[in-house]
Every structure is written in structure tokens, then in C-alpha cells.
Structure 1
Amino acid sequence: MCRVIFGKQFEYNDVLFQHSAKNFLNDPWKAMMFNLAVLLPFTKILPPVKSVLDESLKQQEDSFSQFKKEISRIQSEMKASKFENFIEAFLIEQKRFGEFGENEFFTEKQLLIYIRDLFGAGCETSSSTLLCCFLTFLHYPSCQDKIQSQIRDIIGIQTPSMEHRDFMPYTQAFVEEIFRYCTLAPIGIPRCSPTDVEINGFIVRKDVKVIFNIWGAHNDSNIFEKPEEFRPERFLNDEGMFVRSKYVFAFSLGRRNCLGEQLARMEIYLFVVSILQKLSVRHNSSYLNKLPALDDGVLGIAYVPKPFTLTFVKTN
């Protein structure tokens, strides 16, 4: 995400990187208070909710301050009409639209919010999905074995790329089942319509918030046989080829679905395959507590597994 947004990578101790990551860490309590304020706006005045919102705004302002410094650096170094990252592309469009007067979509505030959202949506979701993958490998070692078998047969010692994905149907099915079973955003993001609309005989009034029950769709037994079971094979046809389901809504759907869906799908595939090409995930026998259930997580900014430990073992 740093390369996409800023055109460069950062050291882990870099101030900008730390601010960007810190602002979106998944604290269950704070996230619950924040979600409460979104769903029930009148709770914003309650002390526990208000304190979390105030802290969130302070963290956001600190991050925006760091973003502005990086934007200024990019502005001073960029070449005219040529862009190599998101900020440069935005600044070019801002200048182009500025020739025709003020434009509400290309302001500094909008750019700062874009950067914040790209980090939040592009980092938190991917890291949480990887946690689900690792926990799944501990509960279902056979899934890991099958993916590693495909890696040996299709990729070998080459660097994994998207060109290999279509030849690895089970790996694709595993990732699709992760998106279904480990629903990171169980109720999605509230939406509202600018006008009154009718849906299947029901009238949805203008500006009324609508919440999409993604978890309900992913666990509908009329669509998925035994949805409580983790079974990647449900996305393989009789010939063993991967078939994506139109009922997996991990990235929402419609015109306002997640614009980063294709990038996220690429990330998860490449991360999983690159890791399992060199390492195997094993349960840490020294960990005294019971391994958390795959469907028993914590709802923060995203629905993530409870804490657990594991061991990575180098493969041959």
C-alpha cells in the first residue's frame, strides 16, 4: 500500500509508517465504541463513546500531519503530467480540474481522507484475512498440504505470480472459502439512498441507513450446503475446476462495492502461496491455551480471530 500511495516503501520505525499503521490497529473495545456511534449516532455524547471518538480524531489529525509532509515532498519532486503513485495522480487531476474552477472532489482534505481509507481498507483487511488463513491451517492441516502440493506441481521454485493462479483451482477455492467462512465485515458498511426506493415490495425511505447482513448470506443453508463447515471443495466442480460463487459478498456488491477487491484477491493469493512455498504453519506445542475456534473471533474494525500462537517450519 505504501508503494501504491507514496511510491516507496518505508522502514518499520519510520514516523509516517508508524502513524499510518497505528491509526488502524484493531482494538476491539475502541472499535466497538466507534461502531456504536456509527449505528446509533445519539450515543456519541456518552462518555465512553465520546472519549474513543476524541482519541480517534486526535490520531487522525496526527496522521494527516504526517501525510501532508509526504504530499509536499512528492509535489516538489514530481514531473509534470507523469505520475508513479496515487498522490501524484491525484495532484495532476487536481491541477487539471483547477483550470476550470474549484472542484469539491480534488481538495487537500479529500486527498488526506483517500490516503486514510486506502491504508485502513488495504492493510487491516488483508492482515486479518491472513490471520484467518494461518488459523485455518492449524485446524485443517490437509488444506495446507493440498495447497503446498499444488505449489510443488505448478510453481516449483519459481517466484509465485498471478499467471500461476488459474492452474491452482484448490488454492483458489481455499481463498474463496476463507472469504465466505471468515466474514471480516459481517454487517458490511451502512448505506443510504438519496431518494425513496422500492425493493421487493418494501419502501426504503430517503437517507435511511440500510445494513447488509453479509454473514447471513454466507451462512444461508439454502445457498451453501452445511455452511457451518469449512469446505473449500464447495467451490470446485466435478472436473475439479474452481467456480467462483456469486453469493460470496466479502467485498459487498453493487456499484458501491469495495474498489480494492481485485487488489485484495491478488494480495491474499500471492501472500498465501509465497509463504507456503517456503514455510509450513504448525501449532506451537508450548502454547498452553486452547487453539481458538475458527468461527469465534473478535469484532473490531474487522472480525478477526482471537489471539493465538504458531510456529513456522521451513519446508524442503
Structure 2
Amino acid sequence: MFEEYVTFSNVLPISLGVISVIFLLLSTRRGRNLPPGPRGLPLLGSIREFKSAERSDDFARLRKQYGDVYSLRLGFTDFFVINGTKALSDLIVKQADAMSDRPSFMFTLSKGLGIAGASGDRWREQRSFALKTFRSFGVGKRCLEKQVMEEVTTLMTEMEHFKGSPFDISHLISISVSNIICSIVFGRRYDHDDNRFQYLMTVIQTYNLKRNLILENASKWLRYLPGDFTGVKKSIERQKEIRIFLAEQIREHRESFDKEVIRDYIDAFLLEQESQSSSNSYYSDDQLLETILNFFNAGTETTSTTIRWTIYYLITHPEVQAKMYEEIKLGLGASSCVSMTFRQNLPYCEAVITESLRLANIAPQSIPHGTCHDVTWNGYVIPKGSTVILNLSSVCMDPDLFPEPHIFKPERFLDKDGHFIGQKNFFPFSLGRRICLGESLANMELFLFIVTMVQWFQLLPEKEGVPPQVHVITGITRNPSDFMFRAIKRP
């Protein structure tokens, strides 16, 4: 009798229902000894916790509720947020062996190649090679200053062409900064009126503004649905255009390669490639392409965005700009050209740049880390293969470290005698073994570009007495919206 009722037509929906219930239960199930955190909804997990315009505000709110290390779930993925100087140091620095991988979701675009998205032995080998090669081309040394100043001077000349009329500096800055990394990687620079290069700068900016790394990681299944919830699909299309350009550079270098004359990073890589066995995939053409893509993206966006934020702060705080200019006049003495030689004579300028790095906070959660084995902290376990978010905002916006953190106040980086006291209490270039490869280059660029700009021009709002209104656009980096300003040449 029972068999009469057990047919395919009624077993199928029952089976699907049971599978769905199991599926939903698994999506809310939490492992043992995980750091505390909100339980979340089936499938969607903790997505309702992201309520604010900026993720940093949501992370700060959750920190007050759950502590310095907490867990969140989106879909079937747990990820772990680390807050505060001590927890970041305990986990990212002191347990660096376990915490220096990248999460598997980053393979979507990079396939585990390059440096930024690589893990394990490949990452260690390629990072070591990049550091050695960069040093050989002057990164971290004074000899690179001439190349940087060439781009600084070109930018100042481009700004002069506006003759005090309002303009948006976004593309000019991107091209100038990108030319520095291009000279190291490609052995050449591009003119400001090069249409293709201008277009590529737009592509990079769009790419960095559209991506949401947290959603990419936590909700991988979203990328298979119609639409582009995480920005991955658009990113893949955008990156294809940049890859075509970079592949052309590699092909041209291979055709003109001379191992007796190493012109740039690509040549250095090709030389190393020749010396390696054919089975060593660490020095493949795909690896080279992905690595220089990392340099091209990172070497353009982060520094140019910080400079744009600094211009905004100087326009909205004219008293700071005036004080910088007075120090520059005194600090340079009889010299008319800004140089790293004079850096120690310009402590207030240093403080302004450092405060801009802090308040601009352009990489508030850095790039996610991954764990290569279980990590314990205060009795909690962060399992192997987890995704870890470094909430750098929790340090640079900490009111205990920086009273009134939302106020632009360069004096916080000066002692009572006006000496620069550095940036020991926050990590603008991240921390641990994944600290930014280009930190020394970025610091040189920021100093030379910003100090020279204030030396040459008075930076004013588009309309007299009306400061620019910007809002924050958050993607991979935290950007100011476009704004116009006037650059009045100083006498």
C-alpha cells in the first residue's frame, strides 16, 4: 500500500526540501572555539551587519560588541576581523608564518600568480626577487630621486598650463605617478597627452573603485548569478585591457632583450628566466605578466589617491598650507629645488603628509590575508584556510592614539619642540611580511610631489570661499570623489 504513495513525483520535492533545509542549516553553522560574532541569516550570513556607507564604521561598531578579534559569516564562509595595535601585532607580526597567505578567492583573477595574490613558496620567491631587483634600480636609494623629480617637474608644468583656472587633477596625478613605476618596470615613460595611456589610467581607477573584496571572498556564489554584485565580472573585463597592454611590453622586451644590458624589471625577470630550469613555474611568462600587473595597479592608485586627499586637506585648511609654505622657504635655503636632502629641515611638511596618510586611510582593511594552518589567540581558534581582514582603520582612527581622529591635525606628529616624531602608532602601508613592497618609493613620491606643489602653487577652491565638497568612494581603496580646484603660481 505504501508503495502506491512513494512515487517519483512526490519523492523529488520531499528530497529537495530536505536538502534545502540541510543547506540552510550548514550556512548558519559555526565551528568550535571561533572568536565571537553575530550569528547571521541562512545563506546571507552577516550581510545585514553592513549598514554604513563605509565598512570601517560597521567594523568599529562590531568591535565594541565582540572585541578586538571577531568572526563574521557570509554564505558558507567565515572570515575574521582583527582590530587594534595589539591584536594586529600578536597575529600578523608574531604569527606571521601562519598568517601571510592569501585567501583562495583571490585566485579568481590572479590564479595564484604574481605577488599580491600569491601564497607560500611562490610568494616568498617572487617577493624576494622583486625586492632585490627594485634595489638594483634604485628603489629605497637616493639615486631614484632624479626620475621622480622628472615627473614632479612635468606635473608642475602641466598645472601651470591652466593659468589659475579650475581643473581636476585626477588624470594628471595618475599619469605622473604611474610613469615612475613604468620607468622601473618598462624602462620608459608616457606623455600626458598619450590617449591610450590616459585610457589605461581610467581603467585602473574604475577597477579599484568597483571591487568589493569582502563580498568577493564571502559570497563566491554571487558571481554565478545574473548581475555583478561583487564587481568581479567587471574587474575581469577591465583587467583584460590592461593585460593586453602589459603583454605587449613583455613581447617588445623579449624581441630586443640583451642579457648584457638589463634595462628594467622585465629584462631582469627574463634574465632570471633564462637561468632557471624549464620546469620552474615561478619564472613563467604568466607569472611575469601578473607581477607587473600588480606593480602597475599598486604603483599608480595608492600614491595618486593619497596626493589627491592631501590637496583636498590643504585647500580646506589654508592655515596648514600657509605654514607649510613658510617652512619650505626657510628649509630650502638658497636652493630652489626640493630634494630629499632637505627632508630633515621640513618637519611640519612631514607631519602634514603623515597626517594625510592617517586621515585619508586609503586602504582601511588592507588586502585580506589567509591562514596556512590553525592559529590560536586568547583561547580562540582561527582555522586553517580562513580569510582574515586587517582592520587598519581601528588603529589610525583610534581616539586613544589620536584624539579627535576625524580632525586634520598635523601637529599630532610633532613633539613640543616641533621635531617630527614619525608614524609608529599606525600602519599606512600595512604590517607583517605582507607590508607594501613600495613603501620607501611611495614615501619619496609623496614628499617630493606634495612639497614641490606647495612650493610652486597656492592651492585654492574652485570658487573663492567655497571649499570643495567631496564624498568617499570605497572600493579596493578609499577615494575622494572628483573635485575641482585652482593652482595659483607663486611669485
TM-score (norm: length of structure 1): 0.90
For residue 29 of structure 1, report the CA deviation from its aligned partner.
6.7
Match of 1:297 among 472, 476, 480: 472
For residue 175 of structure 1, report the CA deviation from its aligned partner.
0.9
| Residues 1:103 and 2:283 aligned together | no
CA change 1:67–1:204 in 2 (3 A) is: same
CA distance in 1, matches of 2:307, 2:301: 10
| Residues 1:312 and 2:490 aligned together | no
Written as runs of structure 1 = structure 2, the 5 A alignment for 1:155-166 is: 155=332, 157-166=335-344
Q: Return the letter of the residue paired with 1:299.
A: T
- Name 1:42's counterpart in structure 2: 221
Match of 1:31 among 211, 227, 230: 211
| Residues 1:69 and 2:248 aligned together | yes
For residue 15 of structure 1, report the CA deviation from its aligned partner.
6.5
CA change 1:137–1:39 in 2 (3 A) is: farther
Q: Return the letter of the residue paired with 1:270.
A: L
Q: Return the letter of the residue paired with 1:315.
A: R
Counterpart secondary structure, 1:49 = coil
Aligned positions, number? 310
Q: Return the letter of the residue paired with 1:23.
A: V
Give the share of equivalent positions with the same residue, in percent. 30
Q: Return the letter of the residue paired with 1:66.
A: F
Post-superposition CA distance 1:165-208 (Å, at most 9, x none):
12211111111111111100111111011111123433211110
Match of 2:442 among 258, 264, 270: 264
CA distance in 1, matches of 2:195, 2:247: 13
Match of 2:201 among 11, 17, 21: 21
For residue 284 of structure 1, report the CA deviation from its aligned partner.
1.4
- Name 2:234's counterpart in structure 1: 55
Written as runs of structure 1 = structure 2, the 5 A alignment for 1:132-171 is: 132-155=309-332, 157-171=335-349
CA change 1:236–1:39 in 2 (3 A) is: farther
**What runs of 5+ residues in structure 1 fail to find an aligned partner?**
none
Runs of 4 or more above 6 Å deviation: none
Q: Return the letter of the residue paired with 1:48.
A: G
For residue 27 of structure 1, report the CA deviation from its aligned partner.
6.3
| Residues 1:207 and 2:382 aligned together | no
Contact 1:252/1:258 (CA < 8 Å) preserved in 2? yes
Counterpart secondary structure, 2:390 = coil
Q: Which moved more, 1:160-169 or 1:54-63?
A: 54-63
Counterpart secondary structure, 2:287 = helix
| Residues 1:4 and 2:184 aligned together | yes
Counterpart secondary structure, 2:387 = coil
Q: Return the letter of the residue paired with 2:291.
A: Y
CA distance in 2, matches of 1:26, 1:13: 20
CA distance in 2, matches of 1:214, 1:163: 31
**Superposition CA RMSD, Å:** 2.3
